[in-house]
Amino acid sequence: MLVTAYLVFVVLLASCLGLELSRCRAKPPGRACSNPSFVRFQLDFYQVYFLALAADWLQAPYLYKLYQHYHFLEGQIAILYVCGLASTVLFGLVASSLVDWLGRKKSCVLFSLTYSLCCLTKLSWDYFVLLVGRALGGLSTALLFSAFEAWYIHEHVERHDFPAEWIPATFARAAFWNHVLAVVAGVAAEAVACWMGLGPVAPFVAAIPLLALAGALALHNWGENYDRQRAFSRTCAGGLRCLLSDRRVLLLGTIQALFESVIFIFVFLWTPVLDPHGAPLGIVFSSFMAASLLGSSLYRIATSKSLLCRQEDARCTRTCKFQPVWRDNISWCCRNVVWMRFCRGKLRGRDGWGSQVPIQ
C-alpha cells in the first residue's frame, strides 16, 4: 500500500506538471498580466488568501485520524463531522450579511482568530470541546468563502477601478493555486505528523502560525470596505430570486449538490478504509488533490480546443461509481478514489457558476 500510494502520487504530480507547462507555453499573456498596478494588487490579495487556504488544507488529511487517536467511535466521529458541516450551512446563510456589516478586512481577521481557536481545540480530548471546535470551524469556513472574495471584488471595482472583466482571471488563478496548495499541504501534513513523529495533532498546530500571519498581513496591508446598505432579508431574497428565476442555475445547483453529497461521504470514509493498510494519509490526500487538479486542467484544455466533454464526463462518473463495487483489493480501492477526485476536478472545471450567476 505504501509503494502504491507514493507511485500514484508521483505519476499524478508528473502529469499535472506536464499539462501546466504545455498550457503556459501555449497561452499568450493577457492585458491584465502586463498591468503592474493590477499585478501588485493581485499579490496583496494572494499573499493573505493563499496563507488562509494553506492553513485550511493542512488540517484535512489527519482530521479523522486525530479523532481515532482520541479513541472515539465511528458514530461519535460522524457526529463531529455532521456538526462541522451543519455549522458551515447555518453560518453560511448569514456570513455575507455579517461580512458586509462588520467589514471585509475585519471579517478576514476574524476568520484567522476563529480558525486558530478551532485548531487549538484539537489539543483537547474532551468531546464537547471538539464539538465547539467543529462549530468554530464551520464559522471559519463560511468566512473563508465569503469575506476574502467580497473584499477583493469591492477593492477591484470600487477603489482601484480595474475592468470587471479582469475579476475571473484573478479567481481562475486562485483556483489553480488552491489545488497546488492542497497538494503541498498534504505532503507537509505527512511530514509533521509522521516523518517528524509529532502525531496527528501536529498539522493543526502547524496551521496556527499560517493563520496568524494571514490575519496580520490583512490587518497591515489591506484597506477596509463595507456594504451596510444590503439588508439580510434583501440578500436572501436576491439569492432565492436568482435561483428560481433561471432554470439553468437551479439545475446547476441540483447537480452539484448531488455530486458533492457523494464527495462528503467519501471525505468521511477514505481514512478508515485506507489507514488500516498503512497508507500515508498526507500523501494519499495529496494524490486526491493532484487528481482533482489534473481533471480541471484537462477540462480547460478540452474547452480551449472546442472539444465536446459532456459524454466523457458521464463516462468518468459511471466508471468511478461502479469500479469500487467490482474490486476488493486495497490498491484498486486507492486508485478508484483517486479516479473519483479526478472526476470531481472535471466537474469543478465545468460547473459554470461564474458563467451563470452575476458577480454582484
Q: What is the CATH number of the domain that holds 57?
A: 1.20.1250.20
> Does the residue 307 lie in any domain?
yes
Q: Are residues 271 and 220 in the same domain?
A: no
For the chain, give the longest Cα–Cα distance. 58
Q: Are residues 73 and 204 in the same domain?
A: yes
Domain count, the chain: 2
Q: Are residues 265 and 212 in the same domain?
A: no
pLDDT digits (tens, 9 = 90+) for 101-140: 899 999 999 999 999 999 999 999 999 999 999 999 999 9
pLDDT score of 333: 59
Domain that holds residue 214: 41-171+199-230
Report how far apart, in Å, the C-alpha atoms of 187 and of each of 55, 157, 180, 182, 209 are. Answer: 13, 37, 11, 9, 18
Q: Are residues 215 and 316 in the same domain?
A: no
Q: Are residues 55 and 162 in the same domain?
A: yes
Other residues' Cβ atoms within 10 Å of the Cβ of residue 1: 17
Task: Quote the percentage of the chain above a pLDDT of 70.
Answer: 78
pLDDT score of 326: 44
Q: Are residues 95 and 47 in the same domain?
A: yes
Whether the pLDDT of residue 29 is over 70: the answer is no
Q: Are residues 151 and 270 in the same domain?
A: no
Give the DSSP letter string of 170-228.
Answer: HHHHHHHHHHHHHHHHHHHHHIIIIIS---TTHHHHHHHHHHHHHHHHHHHHPPP---T
Write the single-letter amino acid at 143.
Answer: L
Q: Are residues 251 and 108 in the same domain?
A: no
Contact 61, 282 (CB under 8 A): yes
Q: Are residues 205 and 249 in the same domain?
A: no
> Does the residue 33 lie in any domain?
no
pLDDT score of 343: 65
Q: Are residues 105 and 74 in the same domain?
A: yes
Q: Are residues 224 and 248 in the same domain?
A: no
Other residues' Cβ atoms within 10 Å of the Cβ of residue 266: 16
How does the average pLDDT of the chain come out, rounded?
Answer: 83
> Does the residue 133 lie in any domain?
yes
pLDDT digits (tens, 9 = 90+) for 312-348: 555 555 555 545 444 455 555 555 566 566 666 555 5
Residue with cell 475579476: 167
pLDDT digits (tens, 9 = 90+) for 63-108: 999 999 999 999 999 999 999 999 998 998 888 888 988 999 999 9
Q: Are residues 97 and 213 in the same domain?
A: yes
Whether the pLDDT of residue 200 is over 90: the answer is yes
pLDDT score of 330: 54
> Does the residue 54 lie in any domain?
yes
Whether the pLDDT of residue 304 is over 70: the answer is no
> Does the residue 102 lie in any domain?
yes
> Does the residue 167 lie in any domain?
yes
- Average pLDDT, integer, range 41-51: 96
